[in-house]
A and B are shown apart, each in its own frame.
Chain A
Amino acid sequence: MSSFFIKKKGNAKVSKTDEKTVAMKRKVDGDSGSKGRSKKLNSRLNEEISSDSEPESPAIKKKLRLAKLYLDQLREEEEKKAEESFETDLIAGRLQEEVLEQKGKLQRLVAKDFLPPDAADLRLLRGHKLPVTCLVISPDDKQIFSAAKDCSIIKWDVESGKKLHTIAGGRKGTEDRHVGHTAHILCMAVSSDGKYLATGDMNKLIMIWEAATCKHLYKFTGHRGPVSGLSFRKGTHDLYSASHDRSVKVWNVDENAYVETLFGHQDVITGLDCLSRECCVTAGGRDRTVRVWKIAEESQLVFHGHESSIDCIQLINEEHMITGADDGSLALWSVNRKKPLSTVKKAHGCHGDQGLEQPHWISSVAALQNTDTVASGSHNSKVQLWRCGEGYRGLHPLFSVPVAGFVNSLKFSSTGDFLVAGVGQEHRLGRWWRNKEAKNGLYIIPLKKRTNSDQEATNGE
């Protein structure tokens, strides 16, 4: 299938379907810039295309045009990255990576290059009065949105650490007067073009904000329980939401419309995540299942394997995910197997009196997209980074970063330059414990890479 894109002299056959699918997906993504085209590649394309006998139908013509546009865009991007004249290898490599990414098989092995940061490099952004419950990083890695138990949302600038905007929280009972949330905000999501911010709270509301100005746009009602998971589909403005009423709802933010509901969970849904496919993945709490929802086909895949309530979930690539449970176990899953590929029990150790030890709950997990690095946070004052084995077959600890308090939310930046941890004195869902020495705020943990002579251009910005 990828034979078209790998340089082989004798390969004159055009595999139309691949080019079409890739082109269509890329067009929808739209985050690569536009650029010129390689003469060699162009001539090769032209030959191959003209050799076919039926490009007359408008659909096929359109697809051809899109494929050419895609290649143009790729070319320009590569030129920007590499100053010297590029080679067709780079495009081929890049195309191959894109294809693997869509298939869900891309795994860039970057974990071994990460260096543990010094304690002095950690930056703490303080501003929330109560524990931080969730956070998101804008797609350009320049801003962070964070929400706390005081129902406020703060937009931070990463470089300077200053607050750009604050949306204050209202008191309980002022729902009609107050523009903003009046109950704990449990989840947030930002669209991949950085336009919309969606936040869900315990009052069964989903609020849509304009990310640039933090202006309130719309309010989605319809859930019958606290909204516990939100995610935008990459490249679109489709919003998926999960709630404590055991349903997953699909919304269209452009048209402010509710699209449909999906059922299946037997108990409260604790987390939701989505990448660019029309599929989302949810963690069901006490029913100990992970479900992958195929929205177009209206069906779900059910995975079992945890022994206790699953609290958090993140997708690593289109086919693999990582979950954390409240018995301290981390599990790495593949969409093709009903049981986890690998589990780590008591990932953050135990606490308690002698003989009554309980494992630390895993309160958040994060994954660096399309790589083998994942992070998990709990309340044993450490953020632990893990390396997934080859083909996601194992989980090995990498290093840990000292962070005091409950790590309620973890997010990697899109390039892997830093990791943001939202930390509070209490767990984000309740007040079982209170850690008085901890500080409520965001820790920005820079992740330095080992300097390598053969560092690829695709790594880093």
Chain B
Amino acid sequence: MRIKTEAILADLDCSMASKRKQGILKRKLAPEAPGGMGPGDRAVSRGSKQSSSKTAGRQDVEEDSDDDQSSSENEAVEDASASADSDEEEEEEEVEEGAESDGSSDGEAGSDSGSEDGDSDTNEATQSGVQSDGRLQTEEDIKRELSTMSFEDIMALQSKVGRKMYNEVAYGAKSKAAHERKKRLNKNRPTEISAKRPAPFLRQVVHVKKSVLRDPRFDDLSGEYKPEIFEQTYGFIQDLKRKEMQVVQKRLRSVKSAKKKEQLELLLKRMVNQEKAHERQKMKREKELEMKRTHREMVGEGQRPFYLNKGDQRRLELAAKYGDLKRSGKLDNFLSKKRKRNAAKDRRKLPFQLKPQ
């Protein structure tokens, strides 16, 4: 008898486990179950989780019974009545199922029990108030089966499933009130959660923060680009650039190979041009600021501000430029170059016959 029980348990263990993996048990509702257990059986009053999972298990067992019963009965040699055997198996499977939801800390079993609970809960939501008769029937059946089992089998069952669960099944489960989320009195108290749900297999023990990458060019947090503020805060970059220029000049003096010299010269030219462009931009901004300041003063004094048009502005700039060149003595150079350039341009625009061949 004991061999048979253990064999059955072991067999069902594997079959249940494999079937669970495929998720078959969850989806099937099997209204054509032989024992006349309809979908009502699945959805039990939310009362005890164990009973709900048990009946779910029983339902599923009905489905399996076709495949499993035949094989397991072939194993057994006793000629007990078929119904007694099947009932016993089913009852053990049920409790076994409940056990697997309670007693094992296996990852998949745990997740399955969690999903089963969720499933039965959702079912309960959809189908309500059909099943109290069905449940009573199952409990009586269980008690009948337990009374016929031998003591050794009962002990084995108890050690497998746990004394507490066995007592609940054998002597009637205490229907707990609907398992609502416990409210804590104030936020300084610890959270209270159920102690019967195993941790899922894929779980984060230590949460690692994912670092967020930001591009300051496109990020609103960086704000708008303001050149004056940029100059102020990042002015040190210009100093660094000047220092690097000096370093390159020094290297240029000491370098021997012609190729390297060429490279360095180009680099130096690039750096110098960049600095000049930077300076030019700076001058431009300053001039604009000056204009704005004068305008403000004029407005302040009461006169009407006058605005130069583009042509006048350009002429003013040109005049300033000539002034600078004169001061530095490069005016002749500049003017001759300009004359040559203009001549070349004009020569291009001469009519075809007059062009020199």
B222 in the interface (beta carbon within 8 A)? no
Binds A, one of B80-88, B159-167, B231-239, B278-286: B159-167
- Contact mask B163-204 → A, CB, 8 Å, 1/0? 111000000000000000010000011111111111100011
Q: A257-B158, A301-B191, A337-B188 are in contact. Are A262 and B196 (CB under 8 A)?
A: yes
B57 in the interface (beta carbon within 8 A)? no
For the complex formed, measure the closest distance between the CB of A237 and the CB atoms of chain B, giving whole angstroms.
13
| In contact, A286 and B162 (Cβ under 8 angstroms) | no
For the complex formed, measure the closest distance between the CB of A293 and the CB atoms of chain B, giving whole angstroms.
6
| In contact, B189 and A263 (Cβ under 8 angstroms) | no
Q: A252-B163, A286-B205, A300-B195 are in contact. Are A261 and B190 (CB under 8 A)?
A: no
Among A246, A267, A295, A337, point to the contact of B190 (Cβ < 8 A). Answer: A337
Contacts of A301 in B (CB 8 A): 190-192
Residue among B103, B190, B194, B199 with the highest chain A CB neighbour number at 10 A: B190
Contacts of B194 in A (CB 8 A): 298-300
- Contact mask A256-280 → B, CB, 8 Å, 1/0? 0111111111110000000000000
| In contact, B103 and A261 (Cβ under 8 angstroms) | yes
Among A263, A286, A300, A339, point to the contact of B192 (Cβ < 8 A). Answer: A300
| In contact, B205 and A336 (Cβ under 8 angstroms) | no
B91 in the interface (beta carbon within 8 A)? no
Please give the residue numbers on chain A whose beta carbons come within 8 Å of chain B beta carbons, in ascending order.
Answer: 222, 224, 245-248, 250, 252, 255, 257-267, 286-288, 292-295, 298-303, 335-339
Among B162, B191, B195, point to the contact of A259 (Cβ < 8 A). Answer: B162
| In contact, B189 and A260 (Cβ under 8 angstroms) | no
19 residue pairs bridging A and B, Cβ less than 8 Å apart: A222-B159, A224-B105, A224-B106, A245-B105, A246-B198, A257-B159, A261-B104, A263-B105, A263-B196, A263-B197, A267-B205, A292-B190, A298-B196, A299-B182, A300-B194, A301-B192, A336-B189, A338-B188, A338-B189
Majority-rule SS of B interface residues: loop
| In contact, B105 and A261 (Cβ under 8 angstroms) | yes
CB-nearest residue of chain B to A293:
B195
| In contact, A265 and B163 (Cβ under 8 angstroms) | no
Q: A245-B105, A301-B190 are in contact. Are A258 and B199 (CB under 8 A)?
A: no
For the complex formed, measure the closest distance between the CB of B19 and the CB atoms of chain A, giving whole angstroms.
22
For the complex formed, measure the closest distance between the CB of A225 and the CB atoms of chain B, giving whole angstroms.
9
B110 in the interface (beta carbon within 8 A)? yes
What bracket does the count of chain B residues touching chain A fall in? 20 to 34
Cα separation A252 to B162 with both chains bound (whole Å): 10
Among B102, B106, B198, point to the contact of A260 (Cβ < 8 A). Answer: B102
* A-B contact sample (17 more), CB < 8 A, given A222-B103, A337-B190: A257-B159, A260-B103, A260-B162, A260-B164, A261-B102, A261-B104, A264-B195, A264-B197, A266-B203, A266-B205, A286-B206, A298-B195, A299-B182, A299-B195, A302-B190, A302-B193, A338-B191
Please give the residue numbers on chain B whose beta carbons come within 8 Å of chain A beta carbons, in ascending order.
Answer: 102-106, 110, 158-159, 162-165, 182, 188-199, 203-206
Cα separation A292 to B158 with both chains bound (whole Å): 26
Cα separation A261 to B197 with both chains bound (whole Å): 10
For the complex formed, measure the closest distance between the CB of B180 and the CB atoms of chain A, giving whole angstroms.
12
Cα separation A267 to B199 with both chains bound (whole Å): 9
Contacts of A287 in B (CB 8 A): 205-206
For the complex formed, measure the closest distance between the CB of A283 and the CB atoms of chain B, giving whole angstroms.
14
Cα separation A336 to B165 with both chains bound (whole Å): 30
| In contact, A257 and B163 (Cβ under 8 angstroms) | yes
Contacts of B103 in A (CB 8 A): 222, 260-261
Closest 4 CB pairs of A and B: A338-B190, A263-B198, A262-B195, A301-B190
Cα separation A288 to B197 with both chains bound (whole Å): 19
CB-nearest residue of chain B to A337:
B188
Residue among B189, B192, B193, B195 with the highest chain A CB neighbour number at 10 A: B195
Cα separation A288 to B188 with both chains bound (whole Å): 18
CB-nearest residue of chain B to A290:
B190
For the complex formed, measure the closest distance between the CB of B40 and the CB atoms of chain A, giving whole angstroms.
27
For the complex formed, measure the closest distance between the CB of A55 and the CB atoms of chain B, giving whole angstroms.
29
| In contact, B165 and A260 (Cβ under 8 angstroms) | yes
Contacts of B102 in A (CB 8 A): 260-261
Q: A263-B110, A266-B205 are in contact. Are A246 and B162 (CB under 8 A)?
A: no
CB-nearest residue of chain B to A335:
B190
Contacts of A222 in B (CB 8 A): 103, 159
Cα separation A250 to B197 with both chains bound (whole Å): 16
Cα separation A248 to B195 with both chains bound (whole Å): 10
| In contact, A258 and B105 (Cβ under 8 angstroms) | no
| In contact, A247 and B163 (Cβ under 8 angstroms) | no
Contacts of A295 in B (CB 8 A): 195
Cα separation A335 to B184 with both chains bound (whole Å): 13
Cα separation A338 to B189 with both chains bound (whole Å): 5
Cα separation A255 to B103 with both chains bound (whole Å): 18
Cα separation A27 to B122 with both chains bound (whole Å): 46
CB-nearest residue of chain A to B182:
A299
| In contact, B163 and A260 (Cβ under 8 angstroms) | yes
Cα separation A111 to B105 with both chains bound (whole Å): 42
CB-nearest residue of chain B to A295:
B195
Contacts of A261 in B (CB 8 A): 102-105, 162
Cα separation A338 to B195 with both chains bound (whole Å): 17
CB-nearest residue of chain A to B102:
A261
Contacts of A263 in B (CB 8 A): 105, 110, 195-199
Cα separation A335 to B190 with both chains bound (whole Å): 8
CB-nearest residue of chain B to A303:
B190
Contacts of B197 in A (CB 8 A): 263-264
| In contact, A259 and B188 (Cβ under 8 angstroms) | no
Cα separation A392 to B110 with both chains bound (whole Å): 38
Cα separation A82 to B159 with both chains bound (whole Å): 50
For the complex formed, measure the closest distance between the CB of A295 and the CB atoms of chain B, giving whole angstroms.
8
Contacts of A337 in B (CB 8 A): 188-190
